[in-house]
């Protein structure tokens, strides 16, 4: 069920949530978190749809804070969804106008579900998230450096501003690569890696984070090479005495893993969508120490190289 509440207040929104739950039989006890989406009007519908899909794995109260025109009178329009229209969640879309656009944290606070963790997600470009009013409410903050004009500079800012609970969608998109490379190293011959080259597009934040993870974990020289813009994460080569381990994905879909003494493996390495990446990030509600290690400790050790 979907109800529109133009020119409303948070008190009226709370009453409407209770009424709709009673009418539809929706139960709020299964929620595991509150997800706050900080988004502009252009990206709002896509972000809410991705959150609905992710909530089928992680039932939540989803609150989308949508910033409208900052000029003019302050006004709050809301849409409330429960039941089949909300996936595994209950959804409140708040559209703020005028002076109210500067006070999103005050608007959202009365609607936070009691005794549940708070996660904040910025689907677009974002800065200073941990120190922002919404960021201070949340125990986990999800950004996406890939959407910045310069993803590599965005990661440098994330590193400088890092606080426990921060994470990035570019990290989730590299999960499959990390798992395959870790598994390959667990197979014989058991030899140390002497150097690594990670190749990906100049605008691929996932490539940078994967390189940082390898530098932190393997404690050997790691070079970051560039492929054409838009190609994403393309190739990893880990040198060992008996021969290299290579994971190659030339077409953004199918990968090939090769290493001495093991049969060649062809694998699905299709780039995960927004909903899939968001669901993965929502599976962890505390600090992600592996991400912190890759971003803060590993990334500064990565050197640049020419494309392979």
- pLDDT digit string, tens, across residues 237-288: 999 999 999 999 999 999 999 999 899 999 999 999 999 999 999 998 889 9
Q: d(Cα 154, Cα 138) in Å, to the nearest integer? A: 21
The pLDDT assigned to 86 comes to 64
Question: What rounded mean pLDDT belongs to the chain?
Answer: 92
pLDDT of residue 88: 58
Q: Please determine, for residue 34, whether its predicted confidence score (pLDDT) is greater than 90.
A: yes
pLDDT (0 to 100) of residue 221: 98
pLDDT at 6 over 60: yes
Distances (CA, A) of 305 to 21, 104, 111, 227, 273: 57, 43, 49, 11, 29
pTM passes above 0.85: yes
For residue 234, give the nearest of 183, 271, 182 by alpha carbon.
271
Residue 127: band (very low, low, confident or very high) from pLDDT cuts 50, 70, 90: confident
Distance CA 287, CA 166 (A): 7
pLDDT band, very low/low/confident/very high, at 307 (cuts 50, 70, 90): very low
Contact 201, 228 (CB under 8 A): yes
pLDDT band at 151 (very low <50, low <70, confident <90, very high): very high
Q: Per-residue pLDDT averaged across 104-117, rounded?
A: 91
pLDDT band per the 50, 70, 90 thresholds, residue 56: confident
CA pair distance 291, 172, nearest whole angstrom: 10
């Amino acid at each position: 069920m979907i109800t529109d509440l133009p020119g409303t207040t948070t008190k009226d929104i709370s009453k409407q949530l209770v009424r709709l739950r009673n009418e539809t039989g929706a139960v709020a006890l299964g929620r595991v978190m509150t997800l706050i989406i900080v988004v502009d009007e252009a990206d709002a519908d896509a972000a809410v749809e991705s959150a609905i899909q992710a909530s089928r794995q992680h039932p939540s109260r989803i609150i989308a804070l949508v910033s409208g025109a900052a000029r003019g009178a302050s006004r709050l329009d809301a849409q409330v969804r429960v039941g089949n229209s909300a996936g595994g969640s209950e959804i409140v879309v708040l559209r703020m106008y005028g002076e109210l656009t500067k006070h999103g944290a005050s608007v959202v606070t009365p609607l936070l579900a009691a005794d549940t963790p708070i996660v904040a997600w910025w689907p677009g470009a974002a800065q200073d998230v941990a120190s922002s009013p919404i960021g201070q409410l949340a125990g986990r903050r999800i950004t996406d450096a890939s959407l910045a004009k310069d993803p590599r500079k965005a990661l440098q800012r994330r590193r400088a501003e890092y606080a426990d609970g921060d994470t990035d969608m570019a990290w989730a998109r590299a999960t499959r690569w990390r798992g395959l490379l870790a598994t390959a190293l667990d197979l014989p011959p058991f030899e140390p890696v002497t150097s690594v080259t990670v190749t990906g597009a100049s605008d691929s934040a996932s490539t940078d984070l994967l390189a940082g993870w390898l530098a932190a974990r393997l404690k050997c020289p790691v070079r970051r090479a560039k492929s054409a813009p838009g190609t994403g994460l393309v190739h990893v080569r880990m040198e060992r005495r008996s021969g290299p381990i290579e994971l190659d994905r030339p077409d953004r879909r199918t990968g090939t893993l090769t290493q001495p003494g093991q049969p060649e493996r062809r694998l699905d390495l299709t780039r995960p969508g927004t909903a899939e990446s968001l669901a993965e990030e929502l599976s962890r509600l505390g600090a992600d120490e592996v991400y912190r290690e890759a971003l803060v400790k590993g990334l500064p050790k990565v050197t640049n190289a020419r494309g392979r």
